[in-house]
């Protein structure tokens, strides 16, 4: 199973996106684990994660986060601002799956 972790400031916005991503994955028949957390909880939740998606407002922390998760070989990227702002779970899921391939 592919595991996707979303992180934002408090985990609220990413929680809404994760919920929509799970629905999109289910409608496609995909077995994907998708969780949302606060950016301060990343290292506690990184085991078994294939992709880490970061809220665009945390762009200033991206290099630091990538450095911290490097030993886990987790692919990391920012969620596109337009998808984050509109809580577009389908588009964010597509972003994550493309990064996994």
Per-residue confidence in pLDDT tens, the chain, 101 aa: 789 999 988 767 889 999 999 999 999 999 999 999 999 999 999 999 999 999 999 999 999 999 999 999 999 999 999 999 999 999 999 999 999 87
Catalytic residue among 4, 5, 6, 8: 8
Assess whether 14 carries a catalytic annotation. Answer: no
Residue 11 confidence (pLDDT): 61
Where in the chain are the domains? 2-100
**Strand pairing category for 51-54 and 2-8:** parallel
Residue 38 confidence (pLDDT): 92
- SS3 assignment, position 6: strand
Architecture of domain 2-100: 3-Layer(aba) Sandwich (3.40)
Q: How far is CA 57 from CA 2, 27, 29, 46, in A?
A: 25, 29, 31, 20
């Amino acid at each position: 199973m592919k595991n996707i972790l979303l992180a934002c400031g408090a985990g609220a916005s990413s929680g809404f996106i994760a919920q929509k991503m799970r629905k999109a994955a289910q409608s496609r028949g995909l077995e994907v684990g998708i969780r949302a957390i606060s950016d301060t909880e990343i290292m506690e939740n990184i085991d078994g994660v294939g992709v880490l998606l970061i809220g665009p407002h945390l762009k200033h922390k991206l290099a630091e986060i990538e450095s911290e998760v490097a030993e886990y070989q987790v692919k990391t990227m920012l969620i596109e601002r337009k998808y984050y702002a509109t809580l577009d779970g389908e588009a964010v899921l597509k972003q994550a799956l493309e990064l996994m391939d």
